[in-house]
Amino acid sequence: MAKAIGIAPTRMELLKLRQRATLAQKGHDLLHEKMDALVIEFFEIVRKIGVVRTKTMQQLSSAYRSLSTCFAVQGTIETYQAAKEAKKGIEVDISTRHVMGILVPVIEAKPIERHALTRGYGVYLTSPVLDEASREFEKALGDLIKLAELEEGAREIALELEKTKRRVNALEYVILPSLKSMVKFISMRLDEMERENFSRLKRIKAMLEGRE
């Protein structure tokens, strides 16, 4: 077998193989720990998503309802007009946070709650239903921004988790067993060669002694 894979059965090679096996074992153990740690992070973020999703969906529903009311009371054209004229400019601050080799977004909404006058859709068009709809959507936007941060984070963690899992499995089921069996084979072969050598030396010695 050693010949087939091109590794000479020498002590030097055995030493190198043992070092590689040690490295692979260390890599496996540490990556396994990393995997476990990522699972903890993943579950925590999924838990948070559950909470935020419920709240967000409720708020969104409320926002859509108030928008419908607005269409009904204020009129479709007027509502779209107000939407067109509404003061734009909502922004978010995005930074990053490190979670073990991956970057996860941290998103902060810049304060969104605006007043009727600063909403900008023409004071003469202002109406309570329009204000209500704007307010509800502003609130929904706040929740959605949080949800976006969490879901993106979950996706990144999941990707890294899958990658790490593949490495751990490759090490555990392919690389380590292969290295270990090569170590075993070469070790046995070396012992065999040593025994052959030993008995050959004995015969030579016997021959030499016989001559004398």
Query: Is residue 23 at the binding interface for another protein, with CB under 8 A as the rule?
Result: yes
**Nearest alpha-carbon partner for 108 in 140, 142, 76, 159:** 142
| CB-nearer residue toward another protein: 9 or 27 | 27
In our burial notation (b when 16+ CB lie closer than 10 A, e otherwise), range 93-108 reads eeeeeebeebebeebe
Residues 122 and 82: their CA atoms lie apart, in Å, by 8
Q: Name the one range near another protein by CB under 8 A: 1-9, 92-100, 191-199, 203-211.
A: 92-100
Query: Is residue 40 at the binding interface for another protein, with CB under 8 A as the rule?
Result: yes
Q: Minimum CB separation from another protein for residue 81, in Å?
A: 10
Q: Minimum CB separation from another protein for residue 184, in Å?
A: 18
Query: Is residue 177 at the binding interface for another protein, with CB under 8 A as the rule?
Result: no
Q: Are 35 and 168 in contact (CB under 8 A)?
A: yes
Query: Is residue 18 at the binding interface for another protein, with CB under 8 A as the rule?
Result: no
| CB-nearer residue toward another protein: 173 or 198 | 173
Q: Name the one range near another protein by CB under 8 A: 7-15, 79-87, 182-190, 204-212.
A: 79-87
Q: Which of residues 108-147 bind another protein (CB under 8 A)?
A: 110, 112, 114, 119, 121, 130, 133-134, 137-138, 140-141, 144-145, 147
Helix (H/G/I), strand (E/B), else coil: 79: helix
The residue within the footprint of another protein, chosen from 103, 125, 188, 201 (CB under 8 A), is: 103
List of residues 6+ apart from 145 with CB closer than 8 A: 92, 107, 109
Q: Minimum CB separation from another protein for residue 187, in Å?
A: 19
| CB-nearer residue toward another protein: 170 or 190 | 170
**C-alpha count within 13 angstroms, C-beta hemisphere, residue 95:** 3
Residues 67 and 135: their CA atoms lie apart, in Å, by 10
Query: Is residue 49 at the binding interface for another protein, with CB under 8 A as the rule?
Result: yes
| CB-nearer residue toward another protein: 96 or 197 | 96
